[in-house]
Amino acid sequence: MESDKNFAVYDYMCRSVKAHKQTEAVDLYEAFGWEATGTASSLGGVTLSFRRDRKIKHKTELNRLERKAENLKASIEKITASMSFGAMIFAYIFGCLAALVFGGGMCLCMLNPGSIPALAGGILLGLAGIALMSATYPIYKKLVAARTERLMPERDAAEEKLAVVCGQAHGLVSESV
């Protein structure tokens, strides 16, 4: 009968994350009393398996804090993605237009093969297209830097809130051990 005293019932959970976010996800969920039990490769990342003692104290509060932490994590990822999204769209459009200018120069040369003014105009238009294409990446980097500078305080505040929530959860987990 003594073996009955050591019997534990667990809650189980699986989360799919990108491979480079695996350690971060394990750290996050361990703060809420989850124990990583395994990993499996999945399409586009890794599936993590967790378990937690079903009789853990403060379970309701831990679940509430866990949802809050997941929302904060999603918010941080959304802010991080938005730092480069607008600049990326601009770079694609600007790069395509620059390539069209370059192609226009080639067309001008090829449509009037014997014309010296068309050749000179085509070369100038082609050089302008090359200059515009070359300028796309530096403009992209400046736009990303400006957006990052503007959004970094918001991201830092969200990360600080996440750290506080994880600290609260860890305190509740430590209390129940």
Quote the longest CA-to-CA distance of the chain.
Answer: 102
Distance CA 42, CA 73 (A): 21
Total-model pTM: 0.78
Mean pLDDT, residues 71-81:
96
pLDDT of residue 3: 53
Contact 142, 56 (CB under 8 A): no
C-alpha 170/C-alpha 175 separation (Å) is: 8
CA distance 72 to 158: 6
Give percent of the chain above pLDDT 70: 96
**In the predicted structure, residue 46 carries a pLDDT above the cut 50:** yes
CB 10 within 8 A of CB 52: yes
Supply the pLDDT for residue 1: 46
